[in-house]
Structure 1
Amino acid sequence: MLRAIIIDDEPRGRSILQQLLALHAPQLNIVGIASNADEGLQIIDTHKPDIVFLDVEMPGKSGFELLRELNTIDFKVVFVSAHNHYSLKAIKFHAFDYLLKPIDLDELKQTIEKLLRSSQAHTHNQFTELLTASRTGNTDLGKIAISSLSSIDLINVDDILYCEASANNTLVYLTNNKKIVATKNLKEYEDLLLSHRFFRIHHAYLVNLKHVARYIKGEGGSVILSNQKELEVSRRKKQEFLNALQN
């Protein structure tokens, strides 16, 4: 059984998460609950958790400041926050996962499934990156952590050709002909990759503009990527896309 800790300054937030985990994650044993960062540090030191559900904004010290005080991070961090600001989303590149309050049960179940199936090797690499980013303030390492049901892959952003919507998942196509079935929806990857010159050309496609080799004119038209893959551009997105290509 995995040992878990909840650190959240809101009593209701702590209570709801504890109840949801008790109902839907019997494999997790909640060994400690803290209402602030200092209490959290003590509980982490005492219980040596496998997983920490960590609120971001707390009085006194934030969740990020808590992490900076640790010499090593040998547990998985799932950030939990009511805020969906881009700077916080960027932390998803380095944390195991990020849950937005109010917590969606399906998203929590996906997180739990990933927690149970992830390997220790991936965990170690993931949190070496997290510790570095936390201490330097650099949350953009040119990589993104893409979570599937069986693993977390740290991928160079420039190696992503395009992303395709697939129900609640996203198919991520890479330059090495590899495809990852990611457990986040396309909108989340659109938000995360916006600053890396990705563009949503269609409700189903998010493309890396660095890999657009050609545009074929038409009502909406289509693009040819560097791997010769052709994708449709929606009529509604056409002009905005052409403007983005020229910037």
Structure 2
Amino acid sequence: MIKAILIDDEKSAIQSLSWEIENFCEDVKIIESFTDPLDAISAINYLKPDCVFLDIEMPEMDGFQLLNSLKYRDFDLIITTAFDNYAIKAFRESAIDYLLKPIDSDDLVQAVEKIKKNKNQNGLGTELKKVLTDLVPQQGYNKIGLPLVGKTKYVAPNDIYYCKSDGNYCEIFFVDGSVEMLTKKIKEIEEIISNKYFFRVHNSYLVNINYIKEFVKTEGQYLVLENGTSIPVSRSKKNDLLKLLDN
């Protein structure tokens, strides 16, 4: 029997997932569920589950921050999310699975089967440790302090789609659709948000590579981001960008 903990800031999402598990996954026993990430951290460290279903997008503490806060990590992980972006796709390259909301019962059963296979062959938590080391390094998810007028806004790197220069100003475009104007040049912003996931693709653009969907090499060459935004790529930046994306 697989002992599971469910974590999601939305109670309705937990209720829905619980119903799916109880009706389609007889090998899974839900031992606890949480809407508060801090409570979940304590429970995971104490109860030592076999599997955790984790919502990545949570307001107080995102899923990656929660993972990096754990002392006990010897469990298998299933990400639950409404966002199908580059960072989440990386999990599919490993033995860890992810479920897009609304969760499909067939996808859930397939993910649980993968966990059962891991348990028999690789031992629990093997791929989780790899993700925390390679795909989601702790430093990469530290908050970034953006100096706005009269305040500093702290955001996670993956809250930002891209930055656009406007002379001595810089616009920051966020995943939630909001935009902030900073009274700094893009070079200064590049230094502030220095991170392995950001790349200066053009004199006027700094892009979060997690959200790159396509690289169009015709018509002047440009990127298409997950939200449909087109970003020009300088010829001098093309080779370095391709090397980065291929690694």
TM-score scaled by structure 1? 0.53
Residue identity matched to 2:53: F
Residue identity matched to 2:108: L
Residue identity matched to 1:109: V
Alignment identity in percent?
33
The 5 A counterparts of 1:1-247 are 1-94=1-94, 96-118=96-118, 119-121=120-122, 123-133=124-134, 134-136=136-138
Is the Cα contact below 8 Å between 1:79 and 1:98 reproduced in 2? yes
Report how many aligned residue pairs link the two structures. Answer: 146
Partners of 1:136 and 1:93 in 2: CA distance: 20
What's the offset of the Cα at 1:35? 0.1
Check 1:137–1:103 CA distance in 2 against 1; reply closer, same or farther (3 A cut).
farther
What's the offset of the Cα at 1:88? 2.4
Is the Cα contact below 8 Å between 2:45 and 2:72 reproduced in 1? no
Question: Deviations for 1:114-155, whole angstroms, at most 9, x for unmatched residues?
Answer: 22232352544312212213334679xxxxxxxxxxxxxxxx
Check 1:41–1:34 CA distance in 2 against 1; reply closer, same or farther (3 A cut).
same
Is the Cα contact below 8 Å between 2:44 and 2:72 reproduced in 1? no
Is the Cα contact below 8 Å between 1:2 and 1:27 reproduced in 2? yes
Residue segments in structure 2 that go unaligned for 5+ positions in a row? 142-209, 216-241, 243-247
Check 1:122–1:59 CA distance in 2 against 1; reply closer, same or farther (3 A cut).
same
Residue segments in structure 1 that go unaligned for 5+ positions in a row? 140-190, 197-243
Is the Cα contact below 8 Å between 1:95 and 1:126 reproduced in 2? yes
Question: Deviations for 1:12-40, whole angstroms, at most 9, x for unmatched residues?
Answer: 11001000100111211100000021121
Check 1:11–1:115 CA distance in 2 against 1; reply closer, same or farther (3 A cut).
same
Is the Cα contact below 8 Å between 1:34 and 1:43 reproduced in 2? no
Check 1:114–1:87 CA distance in 2 against 1; reply closer, same or farther (3 A cut).
closer
Partners of 2:99 and 2:125 in 1: CA distance: 21
Check 1:20–1:121 CA distance in 2 against 1; reply closer, same or farther (3 A cut).
same
Partner of 1:144: none
Aligned-residue CA RMSD in angstroms?
2.9
What's the offset of the Cα at 1:92? 3.2
Question: Deviations for 1:60-93, whole angstroms, at most 9, x for unmatched residues?
Answer: 1001000111234100010000111222222333
Question: Deviations for 1:174-233, whole angstroms, at most 9, x for unmatched residues?
Answer: xxxxxxxxxxxxxxxxx99x789xxxxxxxxxxxxxxxxxxxxxxxxxxxxxxxxxxxxx
Residue identity matched to 1:31: I
Is the Cα contact below 8 Å between 1:32 and 1:47 reproduced in 2? no
TM-score scaled by structure 2? 0.53
Partners of 1:60 and 1:95 in 2: CA distance: 28
Residue identity matched to 2:16: I
